[in-house]
Amino acid sequence: MSNAYLQEFAQIKELIARSSNIAIISHKGPDSDTIGASLALKMGLESIGKNVESFAKDPIPTNLQFLPKADTIKNAINPSSFDIIFAIDCGAAYMMKFEKDYPEILDPSKTILINIDHHPSNENFGVINIVDTTASATVSIIYFLLEYLGIQITRDIATCLLNGLYGDTGSFRHSNTNSLTLKIASNLTAKGADYKSIVKNQFHSNRINQLKLWGRVLSRARLNDKNATVSAVTENDFDDLNASPEDLSGVIDYLNSVPDSKFAILLAEDRKGNIKGSFRTQDDMIDLTQLAGMFGGGGHKKAAGFTIPGRLIQEVVWKIKRG
């Protein structure tokens, strides 16, 4: 990370010094990066005597519940109770999922909101914004912020940060992995990050029903005339297999491994009448944020997604029927 955000780091340091109660919000449908970054920041700020609460509107995935203090994350917030609020890894304000019930979160006259993220879609919705699109993950930014604040990175903090880095880089396989990514990972490992637990929970904790769900995804995979690998799962699939949308985590990387495919698409119905689309590519010439943006979504150039009301219809190919 360059020195581009030293001014913002200084502002954050001053605000933290003047604050007693701090809230940290993870994005909806939380993943390794947002949870890892949030918990690392929470533990770091607690170590200097701050009262810190972490929040996520949606449930924490099973494979992240091993992280230190994951069981302290709450799903209900009272914004007026906090001096400052951090939004972590939220590519847009709506990703917090609290702003509808508490619009004051986005009102600069009522809330000091600090927005820390690495998504190109971020619209700088905070009072202070650190949006580094060159960062492999938001945990990388938190790593440097903690260093700037002079906070010791403990074994637990290192585990949370490394887990986020591991998740957002696809275990260092994705193109957002670079020399700085590996340097941070090396430093975190040297500080005692529990790499074995990270690997176990990321890859060696699949339920049999999850594997059966992956089987349906892979059996339906088709390479279409646009050289896109496409597959889909319906609400009935989840019901039949006693599975959940979080069980799909990781399967799209297999769809994205087809040599002749330019990109992969996975469409999944949920129980709220929506369709979630996920995109992945290895092609440097494709920008998936543009494709996801056509459906009101966003993300990164090589990993993006969207959510829209609708149901899936299977004809010769899967089609979306808008809700």
Q: Kindly report, residue by residue over 126-147, the tens digit of the pLDDT.
A: 999 999 999 999 999 999 999 9
On the question of pLDDT at 316 being above 50, the answer is no
Instruction: Encode pLDDT of 273-295 as tens digits.
Output: 999 999 999 998 999 999 999 99
Query: Does one domain contain both 173 and 48?
Result: yes
Burial of 17 (0-12, 13-18, 19+ CB in 10 A): exposed
Query: Could you give the number of structural domains in the chain?
Result: 2
Query: What is the per-residue pLDDT for 319?
Result: 60
Instruction: Encode pLDDT of 151-184 as tens digits.
Output: 999 999 999 999 999 999 988 988 899 999 999 9
Query: What is the per-residue pLDDT for 125?
Result: 97
On the question of pLDDT at 246 being above 60, the answer is yes
Query: What is the per-residue pLDDT for 158?
Result: 99
Instruction: Encode pLDDT of 24-68 as tens digits.
Output: 999 999 999 999 999 999 999 999 999 999 999 999 999 999 999
| Residue 129: its H or E element | strand 128-131
Range of the domain at 26: 3-201
CA 255, CA 251: separation in Å to the nearest integer? 7
Query: Does one domain contain both 158 and 37?
Result: yes
Domain boundary among 152, 175, 201: 201
Task: For the chain, give the mean pLDDT.
Answer: 93
Query: Does one domain contain both 242 and 101?
Result: no
What sign for the dihedral angle of Cα 179, 131, 75, 238?
negative
Contacts of 225 (CB under 8 A, 6+ apart): none
On the question of pLDDT at 3 being above 80, the answer is no
pLDDT band at 206 (very low <50, low <70, confident <90, very high): confident
Query: What is the per-residue pLDDT for 36?
Result: 99
Query: Does one domain contain both 151 and 230?
Result: no
Supply 215's token pair. 């089987």
Q: Residues 311, 322: contact at Cβ < 8 Å?
A: no
CA 31, CA 60: separation in Å to the nearest integer? 8
Type of residue numbered 256: N
Query: Does one domain contain both 65 and 144?
Result: yes
Query: What is the per-residue pLDDT for 124?
Result: 97
What sign for the dihedral angle of Cα 35, 245, 296, 97?
negative
Domain boundary among 171, 201, 231: 201
3-state SS class at 14: helix
User: Angle, nearest 10°, between helix axes 155-168 and 32-46?
Assistant: 160
Instruction: Encode pLDDT of 62-119 as tens digits.
Output: 999 999 999 999 999 999 999 999 999 999 999 999 998 999 999 999 999 999 999 9
Type of residue numbered 94: Y
Helices and strands in the chain: count of H runs, count of E runs: 10, 12
The pTM score is 0.86
| Cα–Cα separations (whole angstroms), residue 110 to 80, 113, 132, 249 | 8, 9, 26, 37
Query: What is the per-residue pLDDT for 178?
Result: 94
Domain boundary among 147, 175, 201: 201
On the question of pLDDT at 2 being above 80, the answer is no
